[in-house]
Amino acid sequence: MTTIYDVAKRAGVSVATVSKVLNGYPDVSARTREKVQQITAELGYHPNAVARGLVTRRSMTVGVFFQDHGNRGFRHPFLHDVIASFKDSIGEAGYDLLFLTEHRGNDGVFRGFESRAKQRDVDGLFLLGVPRTNSGLATLSRSQIPTVSVDLDLFGPKASYLCSDNVGGARQAVDHLVANGHRKIAFIGDRFGTKPGHDRMLGYQEALQAHALEYRPEWILEGDFGETSGYRAMRRLLAEAELPTAVFCASDMMAIGAMNAISEAGLHVGEQISIVGFDDIELARYVSPGLTTIRQNTDKMGQRAATELLELMNTTNKPPGVITVETSLVVRGTVRNIA
Amino acid sequence: MTTIYDVAKRAGVSVATVSKVLNGYPDVSARTREKVQQITAELGYHPNAVARGLVTRRSMTVGVFFQDHGNRGFRHPFLHDVIASFKDSIGEAGYDLLFLTEHRGNDGVFRGFESRAKQRDVDGLFLLGVPRTNSGLATLSRSQIPTVSVDLDLFGPKASYLCSDNVGGARQAVDHLVANGHRKIAFIGDRFGTKPGHDRMLGYQEALQAHALEYRPEWILEGDFGETSGYRAMRRLLAEAELPTAVFCASDMMAIGAMNAISEAGLHVGEQISIVGFDDIELARYVSPGLTTIRQNTDKMGQRAATELLELMNTTNKPPGVITVETSLVVRGTVRNIA
DNA sequence: CTGAAAGCGCTAACAT
DNA sequence: ATGTTAGCGCTTTCAG
């Protein structure tokens, strides 16, 4: 391995000088600078960011914890999109992403978020799909590690979080239904009490009130955001004495499951029963009829997360905050106008 | 920040001793060991992997370069699945994943694969979705950095690669069509000459020969693996004087595009024209009719990639190799039996 | 069984 | 403008 000493010797200067040209310091003569640069290229020398980080105390690395409820690791499309956008933005600033896992070290000791972050010396943390129940969260929120999490209300001296405007999004969904003449609207939500699930439920209820619609406990179902749970919830709903004319689902996958249950029952989505989903995943365009849904702006979420984390890491006394990103209604074919 | 010195002082021993208990060396008395462990816990001390890596020359980190042709970064579902599986396997061995980007440093110098890898001191590299034309590939293949790439025939002293059995998979596709009575079979391939595209074309041709089917240049179309390109190719095909009874597409997304073109022309997929795709992405189950396709075993691909890289990194003189993972036929609704 | 000391590759005072 | 040197937090001979 070529080190800064090799370059220094070959160029006939000291390591300090080499370091200075490498880091673009001005107090180096043009002659020396050129000489060093030439040797650097000649030797194919690459400064070692790890050693540099050890002394500067900045690794230019942000740690990512990415889980999803199904324990499917990398496979959640919505969060993927957020990460992709986050990576682009934070990459611009020179940071690389280190994907971390909580685990038991070879000493048998369990290492959670904070421990892993310190171990790897990351400058900040980005959390996605982490359930509220995770035991490492409390310690993390109290720590001084700059952190931003999405869809999880983790708040602390250096911890901001970011969500879509889930309350508003849910209202958009119900409003759209009402605008199309629906007054009997069911809801398939989440049984885990995630922040988004909770807020979408809230928005649903607010909208019911705003439109003076009847609140019917038997029309409130619970799932886990996955297709099967939406299917099951819809089956239960279809067994009720009185059926709603529309159902708002807290995720697209649940909406798709619900659509299957409806077809299976010999009914037609968008005819007897209207459906609105949430997320606007890629699939929503491909099912038939196309799913009307509330779109989460993943690009913007990633960007906002990146700028927030950058500030948390690089601005002293930057107060943490909560960031909300607007949603938008995407009309496709699952809502019928019955006015 | 708590360091090993803090622990040593508090425990009344030397740093060497602390280091030994941290790394589970046997030559420490039970008494000292316990004392140290207790202090470690008390202080909430986390050994710094970066400093450790600097001296041991192993960072326990593997670098990932993940691109896709559409420059959509994290958004390619097939490669996602491979990474997820890879991460699980390599994580077991204690490695974390560092997502790297080629970029221009603040000195204005472009840093490619090798440069970034050395800079970040990774122990190995995993490449996905990197086009053959990337200029950094030649240098990398000559380097001593353990590398495994998927769907890219990068081979070198420490570089293995891994693909599905694309030739065999393509043959499975054509065989299935022939078994259903088809003898006029078109092909929508790839215009970039990627390794998978090339091999699927090869398998198609081999199968034609094996079944003594006619090779018709006007029935060979080219796309870019994306939906739109499949749509366009199908439109061109539909304009031909004589139509095939089936078309084999080198990707599911192209197959889906082709299906749209067929519907739009007033024909029915699985009736007048049969379709077979390649990949078995999630969407394949949801389009209507369900897409018959060749499944790539992403779980196995990730696992094999991980074990190969582990060997390359940890076994001296491990010769590089090329790894092939079998595909399988998934029958859904897009092929009609016309025998 | 334990500790002193050298050094991994680099940066940052501080001299010169 | 350039060089000397002391670390960053850790592991690893090598003595004792």
Q: What is the pLDDT of residues B235-266, one digit of tens each?
A: 999 999 999 999 999 999 999 999 999 999 99
Domain contains A332: no
Strand D contacted by A55 CB (< 7 A): yes
Q: Are residues A181 and A33 in the same domain?
A: no
| DSSP letter, residue A242 | S
Per-residue pLDDT, A186: 98
Three-state DSSP state, A14: coil
Strand D contacted by A26 CB (< 7 A): yes
Q: What are phi and psi of A38, to 5 degrees?
A: -65, -50
Domain contains B333: no
Indicate if the pLDDT at residue B4 is higher than 70. Answer: yes
Q: Is B99 on the interface with A (CB under 8 A)?
A: yes
Q: Does residue A327 contact residue A164 with C-beta atoms inside 8 Å? A: yes
Domain contains A336: no
Q: What is the pLDDT of residues B36-59, one digit of tens each?
A: 999 999 999 999 999 999 999 999
Nearest-neighbour CA in chain A from B322: distance (Å):
25
Q: Are residues B104 and B181 in the same domain?
A: no
Contacts of A115 (CB under 8 A, 6+ apart): A136, B46
Which class for A42: exposed (0-12), middle (13-18), buried (19 or more C-beta within 10 A)? exposed
Query: Residue A172 is inside which H or E element, if any?
Result: helix A166-179
Whether the upstream peptide bond of residue A47 has omega within 30° of 0, thus cis, is no
Q: What are phi and psi of A18, to 5 degrees?
A: -60, -50
Tell me how far apart the alpha carbons of residues A187 and A220 are, in angstroms, rounded to a whole number: 5
> Whole-number mean pLDDT of chain B?
94
Q: What is the pLDDT of residues B99-113, one digit of tens each?
A: 999 988 766 778 999
Tell me how far apart the alpha carbons of residues A114 and B301 are, in angstroms, rounded to a whole number: 32
Share of chain A above pLDDT 90, in %: 88
Q: Is A103 on the interface with B (CB under 8 A)?
A: yes
Q: What is the pLDDT of residues A90-141, one digit of tens each?
A: 999 999 999 999 988 766 778 899 999 999 999 999 999 998 999 999 999 9
Nearest-neighbour CA in chain A from B49: distance (Å):
5
Tell me how far apart the alpha carbons of residues A106 and B25 are, in angstroms, rounded to a whole number: 12
Boundary of a domain, candidates A56, A73, A89: A56
Q: Are residues B148 and B93 in the same domain?
A: yes
Q: Are residues B27 and B102 in the same domain?
A: no
Tell me how far apart the alpha carbons of residues A80 and A86 are, in angstroms, rounded to a whole number: 10
Q: Are residues B50 and B113 in the same domain?
A: no
**DSSP codes of every residue in B2-56:** --HHHHHHHHTS-HHHHHHHHTT-S-S-HHHHHHHHHHHHHHT----HHHHHHHH
Nearest-neighbour CA in chain A from B257: distance (Å):
11
Domain contains B221: yes
Domain contains A334: no
Measured from the Cβ of residue B268, the count of other Cβ atoms closer than 10 Å reads 13
Q: Give me the CA A84–C1' D13 separation in Å, rounded.
A: 46
Indicate if the pLDDT at residue B74 is higher than 60. Answer: no
Q: Are residues B137 and B255 in the same domain?
A: no
Per-residue pLDDT, B68: 61
Tell me how far apart the alpha carbons of residues B305 and B148 are, in angstroms, rounded to a whole number: 7
Indicate if the pLDDT at residue A252 is higher than 70. Answer: yes
Q: Is B263 on the interface with A (CB under 8 A)?
A: no
Indicate if the pLDDT at residue B69 is higher than 60. Answer: no
Per-residue pLDDT, B107: 67
Q: Are residues B207 and B276 in the same domain?
A: yes
Per-residue pLDDT, A205: 98
Domain with A182 in it: what CATH number?
A: 3.40.50.2300
Whose structure tokens read 């590939």?
B137
Residue A189: closest CA among A238, A133, A250: A250
Domain contains A276: yes
Q: Does residue A124 contact residue A311 with C-beta atoms inside 8 Å? A: no
* Beta carbons of B48 and A80 less than 8 Å apart: no
With a CB-CB cutoff of 8 Å, which residues 67-86 of chain A face chain B?
Answer: 72-75, 77, 80-81, 83-84
* Beta carbons of A73 and B96 less than 8 Å apart: no
Domain with B25 in it: what CATH number?
A: 1.10.260.40
Which residue range forms the structural domain that includes residue B144?
Answer: 61-164+300-325
Query: How many domains would you assign to chain A?
Result: 3
Q: Which residue in B83, B96, B101 is closest to A100 by CB distance?
A: B96
Q: Averaged over A312-333, what is the pLDDT? A: 97
Which class for B319: exposed (0-12), middle (13-18), buried (19 or more C-beta within 10 A)? exposed
Three-state DSSP state, B235: helix
Per-residue pLDDT, A74: 42
SS3 content of chain B, % helix, strand, coil (to 5): 45, 20, 35
Strand D contacted by B16 CB (< 7 A): yes
Q: Are residues A171 and A243 in the same domain?
A: yes
Q: What is the pLDDT of residues B136-195, one digit of tens each?
A: 999 999 999 999 999 999 999 999 999 999 999 999 999 999 999 999 999 999 998 899
Strand C contacted by A44 CB (< 7 A): no
Boundary of a domain, candidates A22, A39, A56: A56
Domain contains B335: no
Contacts of A316 (CB under 8 A, 6+ apart): none
Domain contains B197: yes
Find the largest Cα–Cα distance for chain B: 90
Q: What is the pLDDT of residues A184-235, one digit of tens each?
A: 999 999 998 899 999 999 999 999 999 999 999 999 999 998 899 999 999 9
Q: Does residue B332 contact residue B285 with C-beta atoms inside 8 Å? A: yes
* Beta carbons of A120 and B50 less than 8 Å apart: yes
Q: Are residues A143 and A175 in the same domain?
A: no
> Whole-number mean pLDDT of chain A?
94
Indicate if the pLDDT at residue A78 is higher than 90. Answer: no
B288 neighbourhood in chain A, CB within 8 Å: 288
Q: Are residues A273 and A312 in the same domain?
A: no
| DSSP letter, residue A218 | G
Name the pLDDT band for A339 (thresholds 50, 70, 90): confident
Whose structure tokens read 């190719």?
B233
Q: Averaged over B196-219, what is the pLDDT? A: 97
Q: Are residues B191 and B238 in the same domain?
A: yes
Weakest-pLDDT range from A19-23, A332-336, B75-79, B196-200:
B75-79
Per-residue pLDDT, B106: 66
Share of chain A above pLDDT 70, in %: 97
The residue with greater pLDDT, A76 or A314, is A314
Per-residue pLDDT, A80: 87
Tell me how far apart the alpha carbons of residues A56 and A49 are, in angstroms, rounded to a whole number: 10
| DSSP letter, residue A157 | T
Q: Are residues A153 and A78 in the same domain?
A: yes
Q: Is A91 on the interface with B (CB under 8 A)?
A: yes
Strand C contacted by B15 CB (< 7 A): yes
